[in-house]
A and B are shown apart, each in its own frame.
Chain A
Amino acid sequence: MSATATAQGTPVQLTDLRRVYGGVAALDGLTLHLEPGELVALLGPSGCGKTTALRCLAGLEDPDSGTIEVGGRDVTRIPTNKRDMGMVFQAYSLFPHMTARQNVEFGLELRGRDRSARRARAAEMLDLVGLGKHADKYAHQMSGGQQQRVALARALAIEPQVLLLDEPLSALDAKVRTQLRDEIRRIQLEVGTTTLFVTHDQEEALAVADRVGVMSTGRLEQVAAPAELYTSPRTPFVADFVGLTNRLRARVEGGRAQVLGGSIPLLEGSATGPDVVVLVRPEGVTVAPAEGASAAGSASVVSASFLGGHGRVIARTTDDELVTVQVPNTDVTRYRPGDAVVLGPRGDAALAVSAD
């Protein structure tokens, strides 16, 4: 592994990977490309195959078929210890009988680096993750967040071609998780290593990744930049899984969906039938106190919640549909349960699925 390749990142290509466990396909024809230096997050519910994909790339699992190429080289049948990949596990992966420094030096020692070079590199990596002063601590003397930082330093110390992060934040509490998430992104951008990040936490995936791949039942539903994934989901699963979604009955007229007394454009891949269900984000709906006689979009408030940075109003329409609306946090107090309100579409394009 050359230093140049690390600095520029290495392309990764997974092609038509299949892996079946006891008749269940954990990977069902997964194809994914990672650009050099890119951070791609694989997002999906438990059992969707995202971890299997990462483990296949690491060499810890063998795919039944398909190919894995790293830097243009087919590594599908190459053993893990020859793949030159750094990996951070969910938790508890530090060697408990070694200090933080010894953990970071371990991979370098296996590569035959001399003691002074190892020391220098370990110190550099521990400084990078902000733990330079904790080099002599053992795993049991560090917090979960610190342990994961050391694990990241250990993985990066060997200058891997690819960095693999297997839900590295899932065992941490919320505050540390957010801090370390941002830290991981900063470090990844700094070292420029191509990275595959597996998570079931959509906020995490959207926050750190250049692109997010949403997986379901062994298949990749959509790979896109976070904003595109959120605003233009290509499948109902993606629309449902990423962010909150209102499922609202609508009619399609002239390529637009008539919903909540207004009309909105439909995204590519939407159902075309006259009666559809549109998937609308809470921020894609407007709400205002009702004035005068009832009109299209009339509803009554079920609840109004203050959520810190924003507020949320849930209202029931005259068609008995529950609609969640995101409002500025200062507006929450305007709505009380039972209040009459008028809902309307903001106008953002949405995905429509068949009403059947």
Chain B
Amino acid sequence: MAESATARPAGALRRLRPSGALAGVVPFFAYTTVFLLIPTLVVVIGAFLDGDNRFTLGNLDGLSSPSVVRGIVQSLVLSAVTSVGGAAIGGLLAYAVSTARDGSVTKRFFTSLCGVLAQFGGVALAFAFIASFGGTGLLTVLLGKVGVSTGTGFWLYEWDSGLMLVYLYFQIPLMLIVFLPAVEGLRPQWREATETLGGTTWTYWRRVAAPILFPSFVGATLLLFTNAFSAYATAKALVSQGSPLIPLQIGSTFTSEVILGQENLGKAMALAMVAVVAVVMAVYAWLDKRASRWMQR
């Protein structure tokens, strides 16, 4: 072995190195191929095929049906409201956490907690809310005992009330995690330079900090938007009547025992979602590039 390696020309060794380096990323490419590329291809191709696997634009026509349009609009509204709300509250929390000393217990506690809460969704989260705010939920009963009525508890299962609250539950901590690095990137010298040049705290926030944070803030908000737009399990667990959101409608086309043969319409709806997410992520990437350029040392 040693002899053959020594005998191998140096140029050949150099040529081997890149392929050796590539070997390290093969698992990643395999993973993205299986779980991202192939599903996307299946969706894209399926969106243009009918039940007999012939090319058709009928599935795209189906996107204009009132129920699908309603699902898309409601998904967009839900995502917009919870991303803006989550960004506003999470942004303020990120600033509050950023004022804590680096490495302090407070900072580590909040960032760890938010790391967990941002990933807390699906059936477990739905159950937590039902157990707390449902018709016979703990908080509903306790509030009722002190004379505060929260109604029948059905609001929890509506897309434009309960679902918004539940989504905010994971949107706020996600915002904190995503936005905190940007807030911490604000350099004390910028504030001090503003002050020595004659500015006030208000001047600093309005003229310096806010414009610098703006791309990061909008980028993080867009990330929250896609997070809400593509969420499925939480909505599925909480909403039992109908399919008010586009992810639930896509699920129905594959699992419903009432409506059959709509799988390719589901793929067309998924394609519409991919398009929305792609646009949003493209804007996010542009903003992120701009923000990171400003923050670089």
**A interface, CB within 8 angstroms of B:** 58-60, 79-87, 89-93, 95-97, 106-107, 110-111, 139-140, 151, 154-155, 158, 164
Contact = CB atoms under 8 A, between A and B. Distances in A.
Contacts of A84: 198
B101 to A, nearest CB: 14
A248 to B, nearest CB: 45
Contacts of B195: 59-60, 79-81
Which of A89, A91, A151, A154 neighbours the largest number of chain B CB atoms within 10 Å of its CB? Answer: A89
B296 A140 contact: yes
B190 A93 contact: yes
B294 interface: yes
Given A80-B196, A87-B192, A89-B193, A95 B296 contact: no
Which of B194, B203, B296 neighbours the largest number of chain A CB atoms within 10 Å of its CB? Answer: B194
Contacts of A110: 197-199, 203
B interface, size bucket: 20 to 34
Contact of A87 (B196, B203, B211): B196
B296 A111 contact: no
B149 to A, nearest CB: 50
B199 A81 contact: yes
Contacts of A111: 198
Given A96-B294, A97-B211, A140-B293, A89 B189 contact: yes
Given A92-B297, A93-B193, A96-B295, A107 B198 contact: yes
Nearest to A158: B197
Interface string B235-271: 0000000000000000000000000000000000000
Contact of A154 (B197, B200, B208, B293): B197
A190 B52 CA distance: 85
Given A95-B193, A96-B212, 10 more contacts: A59-B195, A60-B195, A81-B195, A81-B200, A82-B198, A89-B192, A93-B190, A97-B211, A107-B198, A111-B198
B193 A87 contact: yes
B145 interface: no
4 nearest A-B pairs in the assembled complex, by CB-CB distance = A107-B197, A96-B294, A93-B189, A80-B195
Contacts of B189: 89-93
Nearest to A155: B196
Contacts of B208: 95, 97
B125 to A, nearest CB: 38
Contacts of B198: 81-82, 84, 107, 110-111, 158
Nearest to A55: B192
B197 to A, nearest CB: 4
Nearest to A86: B196
A2 to B, nearest CB: 16
Interface of B: 187, 189-190, 192-200, 203, 207-208, 211-212, 293-297
Contacts of A89: 189, 192-193
Contacts of A139: 294
A158 B293 CA distance: 28
17 contacts: A58-B196, A59-B195, A80-B192, A81-B196, A81-B198, A82-B198, A83-B196, A89-B193, A93-B190, A93-B192, A95-B212, A97-B212, A106-B207, A107-B197, A139-B294, A140-B293, A154-B193
Nearest to A103: B193
A154 B197 CA distance: 8
Nearest to A88: B193
A295 B8 CA distance: 67
A79 B293 CA distance: 33
A90 to B, nearest CB: 8
Contacts of A85: 196
A164 B203 CA distance: 21
Contacts of B293: 96, 140
A106 B200 CA distance: 13
Contacts of B199: 81, 110
A81 B194 CA distance: 8
Which of B193, B211, B297 neighbours the largest number of chain A CB atoms within 10 Å of its CB? Answer: B193
A82 B195 CA distance: 9
A92 B196 contact: no
B86 to A, nearest CB: 25
A139 B208 CA distance: 14
A310 to B, nearest CB: 37
A91 B190 CA distance: 10
A106 B197 contact: yes
A20 B263 CA distance: 73
A92 to B, nearest CB: 6
Contacts of B295: 96
Contacts of B207: 106
Which of A84, A91, A92 neighbours the largest number of chain B CB atoms within 10 Å of its CB? Answer: A92
Contacts of B212: 95-97
A106 B208 CA distance: 10
Contact of A140 (B187, B190, B200, B294): B294
A60 B212 CA distance: 22
A40 to B, nearest CB: 18
